[in-house]
A and B are shown apart, each in its own frame.
Chain A
Amino acid sequence: MKFFKFLLVGVLFGIVMSKSEAISWYRIQEMFRFQSFHMYGIIGTAVTLGVIGVFLIKKFNIRDFNGNPIVFHPKDMSVFRYILGGAIFGLGWALSGACPGPMVVNIGYGYLTMIIVFLFANLGTLLYGIIKNKLPH
């Protein structure tokens, strides 16, 4: 039962990703061709509200529903891994038109061939885990 709220938020995520068409390969193409404001508007609105909200959480030390302080974990600073890892991610994102969230939303939407994409995404993460120590970070 303690997980049920996460199921509901997940359902909301699946619905908004579908209804905003952010799960569409066409929308990702439009974005990477700078031919529409749509995807930039979605991400820009979410980030603008996100910045304001995170600022307010920190300023007023807002606690979570268990009464614990909300802590944001700064990410380790580096340039190489974010640029190279990010670029590999971007190559796959533009090709398949889906990042991990939209992959599974597409499966629920009925695009069953997205199962192939999602299985290989898991394989990609597995591969990273195996060769992680040999990669520059």
Chain B
Amino acid sequence: MIEFITQPWSWWFSGIIISTIMFLLIYFGQSFGFSSNLRTLCAASGFGKKVKFFDFNWKSQIWNLVFLLGAIIGGFIARQFLSTDAPVEIADSTILALEKYGFAAPTSLQPDELFSLDAAFTLKGFLVLALGGLMVGFGARYAGGCTSGHAISGLSDLQLPSLIAVIGFFIGGLAMTHFIFPLIF
């Protein structure tokens, strides 16, 4: 049992749990959409006074901020108690492809080349993290949702706008991976 939990979880088991999370939130009278929290945080920071988009009753979204807090705690629990911190076993072809851009084979969950303190405090390293985050936050609201809101919740409800958004996610993701990576790494 312990061994089962500390190993990486299979895609099918993980998929079942994620859909369970969506249905639990629906059963609790809410919906699964994580990036709404970014708008809520802007509103809770007082930007509603100046920008109309943030002028709404953000207190009705506290449940989602609590969910966010739980997600942080869940990450902590996974690392401290449920993990062996073995390297991510990605495909050999991906390891080879990333080597060309100066990324060593995985030694843990995330590449030190991007997420170590040393990397984050170089100009280029900082810009990669900052611009990555900026585009995610901007694009999520422009598209009206992120992976949870569109790819999971929206597609489950057979929403055409969500399918278009997911196609958009892939246009951007493929362009970054295949055309922009060679320019910046």
Residues of A participating in the B interface, judged by any CB pair closer than 8 Å = 3, 5-33, 35-51, 53-54, 57, 64-66, 68, 70, 72, 74-79, 81-101, 103-114, 116-130, 132, 135
List, in ascending order, chain B residues with CB within 8 A of A48's CB.
Answer: 15
Residues of B participating in the A interface, judged by any CB pair closer than 8 Å = 5, 8-9, 11-12, 14-30, 34-35, 37-39, 41-42, 47, 51-54, 62-64, 66-79, 82-83, 88, 90-91, 93-94, 97-98, 106, 109-111, 114-117, 119-120, 126, 128-148, 150-162, 164-178, 180
Known contacts A35-B91, A77-B161, A90-B176; A120 and B134 CB within 8 A of each other:
yes
Minimum C-beta distance from A122 to chain B (A): 5
Cβ A113 vs Cβ B152 within 8 A: no
Task: Say what secondary structure dominates the interface of chain A.
Answer: helix
Minimum C-beta distance from B46 to chain A (A): 11
Cβ A47 vs Cβ B155 within 8 A: yes
Not counting A45-B18, A94-B176, A121-B134, a sample of 7 additional A-B residue pairs whose C-beta atoms are within 8 angstroms of each other reads A22-B14, A49-B19, A64-B28, A82-B164, A93-B147, A95-B135, A96-B136
Cβ A54 vs Cβ B139 within 8 A: no
